[in-house]
Every structure is written in structure tokens, then in C-alpha cells.
């Protein structure tokens, strides 16, 4: 199970710089995590989709749009998703 989702050490922040975004979360056990970043709340416009063994991941894709709201989620294995959002500066 995952929780405590943060972007650049803040929960649901507004005004995040688009050039250095780090997603982090808390987990009750350490296994494989899947992280998805989307441009829509329905998670249909995927911007990033990655697997990791860490409880953090740095965004390294195409530049994010300024003044946009992004939605992201993380899960352990095939468990339920924990979801959050943030807005860029």
C-alpha cells in the first residue's frame, strides 16, 4: 500500500517549477512500484509511465507545460492506485 504522495516534498502543490519535478511517496513494504503521470484526471493522456524499486522518481520526459494541472498516481505491484495532483508555475 502506498500513501503520502508528494511532489518536490509538498502534498498537492501549486506552482511547481517545470524543470525539476520529483515524485515521492510512502510505502508499507518495499517492492516494485508503478508511477503514472497524466495530463487529465481520467488518466487517459499519459505523460510518463515507469516502474521503480525506489519510493521516489524524477520526471525526465518532455518539458511539462507551465500553468497546467497534472495528475499522478502510484501503486505497489498490482495493488490499488494512490492518486494526487499538482500545478506547474
Q: Of 43, 57, 54, which Cα lies nearest the Cα of 76?
A: 54
The confidence score (pLDDT) of residue 37 equals 98
Determine contact, residues 73/84, Cβ cutoff 8 Å.
yes
The confidence score (pLDDT) of residue 21 equals 96
pLDDT digit string, tens, across residues 38-84: 999 999 999 999 999 999 999 999 899 999 999 999 999 888 999 99
> Taking the chain, what is the end-to-end CA distance rounded to the nearest angstrom?
30
Report the side by side order of strands in the sheet with 22-27.
2-7, 22-27, 56-58
The pTM (predicted TM-score) of the whole model is 0.93
Amino acid at each position: 500500500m502506498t500513501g503520502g504522495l508528494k511532489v518536490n516534498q509538498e502534498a498537492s502543490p501549486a506552482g511547481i517549477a517545470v524543470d525539476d519535478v520529483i515524485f515521492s511517496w510512502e510505502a508499507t513494504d518495499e517492492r516494485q512500484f508503478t508511477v503514472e503521470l497524466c495530463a487529465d484526471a481520467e488518466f487517459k493522456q499519459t505523460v510518463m509511465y515507469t516502474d521503480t524499486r525506489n519510493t521516489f522518481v524524477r520526471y525526465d520526459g518532455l518539458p511539462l507545460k507551465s500553468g497546467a494541472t497534472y495528475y499522478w498516481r502510484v501503486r505497489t505491484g498490482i495493488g490499488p492506485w494512490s492518486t494526487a495532483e499538482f500545478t506547474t508555475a
